[in-house]
Structure 1
Amino acid sequence: MHIQLLKSKIHRVKITQAELHYVGSITIDEDLMDAAGLIENEKVQIVNINNGERLETYVIKGERGSGQVCLNGPAARKAQVGDIVIIISYCSMEVSEAKTYQPVVVFPDEYNRL
């Protein structure tokens, strides 16, 4: 049997941009993606600390070192620039493996840098 558990999260990162008229997704600085073990097109959950909104979308690579975190498409309605969010990824694994698995947690600074 497989269970779902936390794979990684980027804890308390700031939204830098919201682009309503875009195909969809969240654009994340590639440095943050690498640190959290996220890959392009991976499904993530976004939890907005400021307003309590939760949504699921997929990741697009942002410019490395830019600090960019941009909600695109309809998701842009769920946050304002400056809102603090948590970006969460999950994985599926056997219970025996899950008991010893340690998720990756990234704590960026106020400029979304490592």
Structure 2
Amino acid sequence: MDIEVLKSKVHRAVITEANLHYVGSLTLDEDLMDAANMIEHEKVQVVNVNNGTRIETYLIRGKRGSGVCCLNGPAARSGAEGDIIIILSYARMDFEAAKKFQPWIIFPKEGNRL
């Protein structure tokens, strides 16, 4: 039996911008993506701590070291600059393997830095 489990988590990043007129997605600093073992175009769930919204979108690689965390396109309606978000991705795996699996979880500091 396969189940879906948490693979990666960026806990409490801060939205640096929201760009309604850009192709929909979440642009994220490449340093954060690497630390959380996430890749460009990976499906993610974005949970907004400030307003409770939960959306699904995909990642776009942002400039390394920039601290960027930008909601793009329709996703921009679900948050505003300064909002705190949690970014989650999941993986499907065998039930027994999932019992031993440890997700990558990072806790960004001020400015979305590691």
TM-score higher than 0.5: yes
Match of 2:37 in 1: 37
Residue type of the alignment partner of 1:41: H
Counterpart in 1 of 2:6?
6
- Structure-2 residue corresponding to 1:61: 61
Percent sequence identity is 64
Distance 2:56 2:110 in 1: 24
Q: CA deviation at 1:54?
A: 0.3
Which residue does the alignment assign to 1:100? 100
Q: Partners in 2 of 1:50 and 1:107 — Cα distance?
A: 17
Give the drift of 1:110. 1.7
Letter in 2 for 1:72: N
Which amino acid is 2:90 matched to? Y
CA RMSD of aligned residues (A): 0.4
| Structure 1 residue 92 displacement after superposition | 0.2
User: Which residue identity is paired with 2:14?
Assistant: K
Q: 1:23 offset after TM fit, Å? A: 1.1
Corresponding residue of 1:19 = 19
State the one-letter code of the partner of 1:95: F
SS state at 2:112 partner: coil
Q: Shift in Å at residue 111 of structure 1?
A: 0.9
SS at match of 2:67: coil
**One-letter identity of the residue aligned with 1:35:** A
Please state how far the C-alpha of 1:9 moved relative to its aligned partner.
0.3
Q: Which residue of 2 aligns with 1:88?
A: 88
Say which SS state the counterpart of residue 7 (structure 1) adopts.
strand
| Alignment deviations for residues 23-57 of structure 1 (CA, whole Å, 9 cap, x no partner) | 11000000000000000000000000000000000
CA displacement at 1:93 relative to structure 2: 0.1
Work out the number of aligned pairs and report it. 114
AA aligned opposite 2:63: E
SS at match of 1:111: helix
What CA deviation, in whole Å up to 9, does each residue of 1:51-97 have, x standing for no partner?
00000000000000000000000000000100000000000000010
